[in-house]
Chain A
């Protein structure tokens, strides 16, 4: 989770990602951010997130993003 929070903070240093729950709906993360984010996640965690998984529900909070990464990691096990 800490690695993810670090990646997110690099994108928007001014946001408290540990508590925010409306990252997409609140307009904090836009489509550019999401694309940067999935390529960082791919680099850091070695998981591939598909286009169909790029939904607001999956990206509205750090927790949701982390859950998606974990699901991907479990899937590959």
Chain B
């Protein structure tokens, strides 16, 4: 059930009305039922996967939590009678049991993710190797179910398990509450990847109908629909045309395709997240933000702090830090310093951990080499910019441009260009072809490709380009206003007539210019596939 479908709107209306008719714990219980119905409608087989992850993680986390509390109570009582070595041994013994449960659960669930998502990728690589060594036989691909949102809910659930294991909070005692945390329908298909201590603050409490909260949520949903239906669905047409005929559409077309895709992905993904956050907000539930005006970032590092934030922080907290703080990395750090010197040696563990994180980020996005190369491309850019820091410092000591509007604009454009170039791996889905098309921007760009007719051949009319352009100006304007605080708060301060004019205007623009209607099926949100 796509967010932009009539079925989803009908489903949402029913859930919303019943939710506010209920009181107390019936509200979150009903949300759990609704979430499972939502997942059941997508494909009944998916339920088995999400239920297995939910049950296994719930019991593993509870066992770890129970062991921690009983050990803490015992230790508090007996520590005075014990010698230092005995205390250490007792701690290590208790910790070893927790570690076993933790690792079993972690590997089991990551195993499900790996088998469902990466089996065919592994088979295709084995086949390539077999062919390369002259073997004619090939392994056949397996027809596997890939449950919707599995990457998102597995990461969210494993984040919870790691936090309980690290003693950040105690495990949830109710399996039904935990099941809702895993399956909460607005964020099941494309995130954000919520943290338990964050989402649980508002997910299980009673919410009474409050006009302000509901209207804020509805505004956010409408804004999401505007982005998805007016911008993303429209600009998708030329993007697809350019990608599908790389021999015909090279040079400036390839450049335009990358730029259009930057806009499409932004409108599609942030629009989807707006709908998610808005739907939750109409029921008084606060889902964490996933974007902070990412295209205004001054460099790639900043961009990754502002784009798909919950994924970035997940990788930092649960992969980058554990790897770089591990005993192995500490030893490697000492060794590399002694061999390579302090300056160069200290970079080794940071870059190695970062390499692993970006490789994982790439493969998380999809089981194919284009995503892995995309991930590693990000790693290379970040590493280069890190290494250029001394140069930047020298440059700014000589040329006083830092802080000027021109310099900031240059930084923003540079970031957008670099990110759009890297995303060409995502567009063409083929590594050699992507390099070829990127190269064509410099070798095959001809002035004749810039004629008006050339772009109207791509499936949309001049009027459509004008609509996209105006919508983009609105996006930029809203982003600029956001810098001084919430736009919805500002709208709320306006007179009723003005407020209504804005809502009505946005609604009508989405209705008139949105790509939807009977027989029209809006495309899947890009991040649903991950």
Complex-state Cα separation, A35 to B320, whole angstroms: 9
B346 adjacent to A40 (CB under 8 Å): yes
A39 adjacent to B354 (CB under 8 Å): no
Judge if B349 is at the interface, Cβ distance under 8 Å: yes
Partner of A50, one of B317, B325, B386: B325
Q: Smallest distance from the beta carbon of A72 to chain B beta carbons, Å?
A: 13
Partner of A51, one of B84, B321, B337: B321
Binary contact readout A22-39 vs B (1 if CB under 8 angstroms, 0 otherwise): 000001001110111011
Complex-state Cα separation, A43 to B345, whole angstroms: 13
Within 8 A of B (CB), among A29-73: 30-32, 34-36, 38-40, 42-43, 48-52, 54
| Residues of B in contact, count (CB < 8 Å) | 26
Q: How large, as a class, is the contact surface on chain A?
A: 10 to 19
Partner of A31, one of B167, B321, B333, B337: B321
Name which of A30, A35, A49 has the most chain B CB atoms within 10 A of its CB: A35
Residue numbers in B under 8 Å from A30 (CB-CB): 301
B325 adjacent to A36 (CB under 8 Å): no
Complex-state Cα separation, A18 to B328, whole angstroms: 32
Judge if B316 is at the interface, Cβ distance under 8 Å: yes
Judge if B322 is at the interface, Cβ distance under 8 Å: yes
Q: Smallest distance from the beta carbon of B137 to chain A beta carbons, Å?
A: 44
Complex-state Cα separation, A77 to B322, whole angstroms: 25
Binary contact readout B116-150 vs A (1 if CB under 8 angstroms, 0 otherwise): 00000000000000000000000000000000000
B353 adjacent to A35 (CB under 8 Å): yes
Judge if B202 is at the interface, Cβ distance under 8 Å: no
| A39 in contact with B330 given A32-B386, A52-B167, A52-B168 (CB within 8 Å) | yes
Q: Smallest distance from the beta carbon of B465 to chain A beta carbons, Å?
A: 38
Residue numbers in A under 8 Å from B320 (CB-CB): 31, 35
Judge if B350 is at the interface, Cβ distance under 8 Å: yes
Complex-state Cα separation, A42 to B320, whole angstroms: 17
Q: Smallest distance from the beta carbon of A32 to chain B beta carbons, Å?
A: 5
Q: Smallest distance from the beta carbon of B354 to chain A beta carbons, Å?
A: 7
B333 adjacent to A42 (CB under 8 Å): yes
Judge if B484 is at the interface, Cβ distance under 8 Å: no
Complex-state Cα separation, A31 to B320, whole angstroms: 8
| A43 in contact with B325 given A36-B346, A52-B167 (CB within 8 Å) | no
Name which of B168, B320, B325, B330 has the most chain A CB atoms within 10 A of its CB: B325
Point out residues on B near A: beta carbons under 8 Å. 84, 166-168, 301, 305, 316-317, 320-322, 324-327, 329-330, 333-334, 337, 346, 349-350, 353-354, 386
* Sample of 13 further A-B pairs with CB below 8 A, known A52-B167, A54-B321: A27-B305, A31-B320, A32-B350, A32-B354, A32-B386, A34-B321, A35-B325, A35-B350, A39-B330, A42-B333, A43-B334, A48-B330, A51-B324
Q: Closest 9 A-B residue pairs measured CB to CB?
A: A52-B166, A51-B322, A51-B321, A35-B324, A39-B333, A51-B325, A54-B321, A35-B350, A31-B316
CB<8 Å pairs between A and B, sample of 7: A27-B305, A31-B320, A32-B350, A35-B325, A35-B350, A51-B324, A77-B84
